[in-house]
Chain A
């Protein structure tokens, strides 16, 4: 399984000198399974980098959406393969009271977007409830996680290696001390012994204290959770649009200097790849 980050920014895109290294595009990760199958995690503006990379002859593309906040779907309408009749495209997203197709159509329709969802070729739209399903060589497990509105985290296993993707997540919400009992901690089953965890680390401690309930984590929280759940490598994601590359470096330096970590931690960088 090859994993490539294309959009690492959270909330809203941020282009400019201060975000050149870690990237200014919103959430999107490309996963190539051991069978060559293409799975895309979230459809933020980073998905524009994936389009031209899809090999000729690809017959199927799966897009797994964690939730429908704009920074996770705003690139969908610009992903050319959703307009191609030659490729079978599947869109997967969290189950809710209204169908995924209905909810996606709110954005993919005028006046917010010139085309309607039904005019795209993505006619396989799946409402995902907590559970497992298979896409080619990937065994995918989805579970609802703590974030405003129905939001999924995904665990993708291929050849015994596990990638876990939870880009928007506030597992500390409600805990009087964190991390607490994993049985009562959002996402813990997904995270267990992951080889690679791509996880929200949007806020500083000070920012989190003013934004409890907004659905995001601090670097300190996610490191503690990853250590508790035996994660091998943590890649932080959903960088705050107000955080420059230098600030992200500083936060990571501070975390590494505070104590010895039992998990490898790196900031998510657009264009970086991981082989599992």
Chain B
């Protein structure tokens, strides 16, 4: 497998040290990493879940508005960050890998590398208190 760009390597290392739950996708939308603080929210250790292809994410993590109404995929914060290259924030309901449902707030930003390379996106998320 090809090496990740240095910007994404450093982002993953940074994410592995901070206590904020972080989710990282590559430019194709594949989930490449989530950190340890994200694991209790997502319901499984990343080492067990592993990387997840973009076309499988919607079935693995089912998302909706807090009231249960569906969200068009193009309006999900990470999809907005990836496709429109702008930051996005939203409160959503997500099915975790342990079968539970969680209410989370998500802020996603695009990751742009040197030379304007679109490398992916990252999302910080948390459960509202």
Residues of A within 8 A of B (CB): 94-96, 127, 129-130, 143-146, 150, 173-176, 182-189
Contacts and interface: CB of A to CB of B under 8 A. Distances in A.
B113 to A, nearest CB: 8
9 contacts: A94-B114, A129-B114, A130-B5, A143-B6, A146-B6, A146-B10, A174-B16, A182-B3, A184-B3
Contacts of A182: 3
B114 A188 contact: no
* Candidate in A174, A187, A189 with the most chain B CB atoms within 10 angstroms: A174
Chain A interface, DSSP helix/strand/loop, else mixed = loop
Nearest to A131: B115
Interface in B1-21: 1-7, 9-10, 12-14, 16-17
Nearest to A97: B114
A95 B36 CA distance: 33
B56 interface: no
Contacts of A189: 2-3
Nearest to A94: B114
Contacts, number: 53
Contact of B14 (A95, A127, A174): A174
Contact of A173 (B5, B7, B13): B13
A193 to B, nearest CB: 14
B86 to A, nearest CB: 19
B115 A129 contact: yes
B16 to A, nearest CB: 7
Interface of B: 1-7, 9-10, 12-14, 16-17, 113-115, 117
Contacts of B115: 95, 127, 129-130
A185 B9 contact: yes
Given A150-B114, A173-B10, 19 more contacts: A94-B114, A95-B115, A129-B114, A129-B115, A130-B5, A130-B114, A144-B5, A144-B7, A145-B6, A146-B9, A146-B10, A174-B9, A174-B16, A183-B3, A184-B3, A184-B4, A184-B12, A188-B3, A189-B3
A95 B3 contact: no
A183 B7 contact: no
B37 to A, nearest CB: 16
Contacts of A129: 114-115, 117
A144 B4 CA distance: 11
* Candidate in B1, B113, B114 with the most chain A CB atoms within 10 angstroms: B114
B117 A185 contact: no
A183 B7 CA distance: 13
Contacts of B5: 130, 144
A175 B6 CA distance: 13
A208 B5 CA distance: 24
B2 A183 contact: yes
A188 B2 CA distance: 9
Contacts of A143: 6
A186 B9 contact: yes
Contacts of A146: 6, 9-10
10 closest Cβ pairs, A-B complex: A174-B13, A129-B115, A189-B3, A144-B6, A95-B115, A188-B3, A183-B1, A95-B114, A186-B6, A184-B9
Contacts of B4: 183-184
B125 to A, nearest CB: 22
B114 A96 contact: yes
A173 B17 CA distance: 12
